[in-house]
Amino acid sequence: MSTFLRERWLAVVLAVVAIVFIAQNPDDTRISFLWIHLTWPLWLTLTVVTVIGIVIGSFINRRHPQGRA
């Protein structure tokens, strides 16, 4: 097994689960943020929120690299 998979197997599993979950939710949903109201497909909303979470996680990881807390 490659080093990448050994070190990041949980991230890979969670990514697959997220992709399956997003793909199975095609219905439209209403989104309200402050004064903005949108109707988007749920898969698009979940994808945007997932990407925002990944970006936030990468910023946190960049500020606190492994080995230093």
Task: DSSP letter for 25, please.
Answer: -
Counting other chains too, the contacts that 55-63 makes at CB distance below 8 Å and 24 or more residues apart are none
The alpha carbon torsion through 6, 8, 11, 15 (nearest 10 deg) reads -70
Confidence (pTM): 0.65
pLDDT of residue 66: 61
CA distance 55 to 2: 25
Which percentage of the chain shows pLDDT scores above 90?
Answer: 13
CA distance 32 to 10: 32
pLDDT of residue 39: 93
